[in-house]
């Protein structure tokens, strides 16, 4: 029997897949996540897809070695292109940039609407991905975060809700989008402004991670604060960049305050 060696990151990804659903793993690489999901009786069936023939061939070999070819199908596919509506209730997209994750979802709007769950592990631009999910009416139900090989990896599980009208710019005016330095620490801001700030912080750092006081998020905030303080020392003579860094430091402090409340 094939011996699985899931990394902590990929084990966390698999751990957020809801039990009992058929899944599609986009960018399946070696196929280990698909094998784990079936072997552990989390998913009855999985479609493992990759845009490259090499990884897909290796995945197929691993699936055959595990004796799970009847439960896991492999397909050469660019994103969700070869996924048919109704074949999967959950799509997994892990280990790729945030904008690529969103592009994969946006390229197939009808297929996206047919899904109930998304399990995503973007490698970058987390705020962009979370805001996209929110504007599409998908609710982030669960999150996890792991530290592995010197890097932090947040994972998101979102569930589709009633379709909402795409607000385009999120309903904010151009004035709202302008930076308001240190508004987080200004007791004079309105309730609506405070809600907008909270929403922005959740987009950046994760609503569930913040609410659950996730220990790895606390580690990340300490690391990110250190990074920003080092940058601040280098940009003291550049007012615009200095203001940006101080704004981010204020956001870190506010997120930590929320988690400690």
| Distance between CA atoms of residues 126 and 154, nearest Å | 8
Query: Is residue 147 in a domain?
Result: yes
Looking at the structure, do residues 16 and 118 belong to the same domain, yes or no? Answer: yes
pLDDT at 166: 41
Looking at the structure, do residues 32 and 121 belong to the same domain, yes or no? Answer: yes
Asked whether 66 and 2 are in contact (CB, 8 A), the reply is yes
Looking at the structure, do residues 36 and 100 belong to the same domain, yes or no? Answer: yes
Looking at the structure, do residues 48 and 121 belong to the same domain, yes or no? Answer: yes
Query: Is residue 3 in a domain?
Result: no
| Distance between CA atoms of residues 109 and 59, nearest Å | 27
Looking at the structure, do residues 42 and 148 belong to the same domain, yes or no? Answer: yes
CATH classification of the domain holding 71: 3.40.50.150
Looking at the structure, do residues 124 and 180 belong to the same domain, yes or no? Answer: no
Query: Is residue 153 in a domain?
Result: yes
Query: Is residue 167 in a domain?
Result: no
Closest CA to 206 of 164, 145, 159, 248: 145
Number of domains the chain is built from: 2
| Distance between CA atoms of residues 127 and 4, nearest Å | 32
Query: Is residue 169 in a domain?
Result: no
In terms of Cβ atoms closer than 10 Å to its own Cβ (0-12, 13-18, 19+), residue 18 is middle
pLDDT digits (tens, 9 = 90+) for 111-126: 999 999 999 999 999 9
Say yes or no to pLDDT of 185 above 90.
no
Looking at the structure, do residues 129 and 31 belong to the same domain, yes or no? Answer: yes
Range of the domain at 92: 8-160
pLDDT digits (tens, 9 = 90+) for 128-165: 999 999 999 999 999 999 999 999 999 999 999 744 43
Domain boundary among 160, 187, 208: 160
Averaged pLDDT score across all residues of the chain: 90
pLDDT at 171: 36
Domain boundary among 160, 189, 211: 160
Looking at the structure, do residues 129 and 223 belong to the same domain, yes or no? Answer: no
pLDDT digits (tens, 9 = 90+) for 10-44: 999 999 999 999 999 999 989 999 999 999 999 99
Domain boundary among 125, 160, 195: 160
pTM, rounded to two decimals: 0.88
Looking at the structure, do residues 181 and 126 belong to the same domain, yes or no? Answer: no
When pLDDT is cut at 50, 70 and 90, the band that residue 195 belongs to is: confident
Asked whether 245 and 228 are in contact (CB, 8 A), the reply is yes
Looking at the structure, do residues 124 and 193 belong to the same domain, yes or no? Answer: no
Query: Is residue 222 in a domain?
Result: yes
């Amino acid at each position: 029997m094939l011996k699985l060696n899931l990394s902590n990151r990929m084990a966390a990804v698999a751990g957020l897949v809801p039990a009992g659903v058929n899944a599609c793993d986009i960018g399946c690489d070696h196929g280990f996540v698909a094998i784990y999901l079936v072997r552990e009786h989390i998913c009855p069936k999985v479609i493992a897809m990759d845009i490259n023939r090499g990884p897909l061939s290796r995945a197929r070999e691993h699936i055959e070695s595990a004796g799970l070819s009847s439960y896991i199908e492999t397909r050469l596919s660019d994103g969700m292109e070869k996924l048919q509506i109704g074949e999967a209730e959950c799509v997994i997209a892990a280990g790729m940039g945030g904008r690529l994750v969103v592009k994969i979802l946006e390229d197939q709007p009808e297929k996206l609407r047919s899904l109930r769950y998304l399990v995503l592990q973007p490698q970058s631009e987390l705020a962009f991905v979370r805001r996209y999910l929110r504007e599409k009416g998908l609710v982030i139900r669960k999150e996890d975060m792991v530290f592995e090989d010197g890097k932090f990896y947040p994972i998101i599980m979102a569930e589709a809700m009633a379709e909402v009208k795409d607000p385009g710019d999120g309903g904010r005016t151009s004035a709202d989008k302008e930076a308001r330095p240190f508004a987080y620490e200004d007791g004079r801001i309105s309730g609506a402004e405070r809600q907008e700030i909270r929403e922005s912080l959740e987009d950046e750092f994760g609503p569930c991670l913040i609410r659950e006081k996730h220990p790895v998020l606390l580690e990340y905030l300490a690391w990110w604060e250190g990074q920003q303080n080092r940058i601040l020392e280098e940009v003291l003579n550049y007012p615009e960049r200095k203001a940006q860094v101080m704004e981010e430091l204020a956001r870190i402090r506010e997120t930590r305050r929320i988690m400690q409340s």
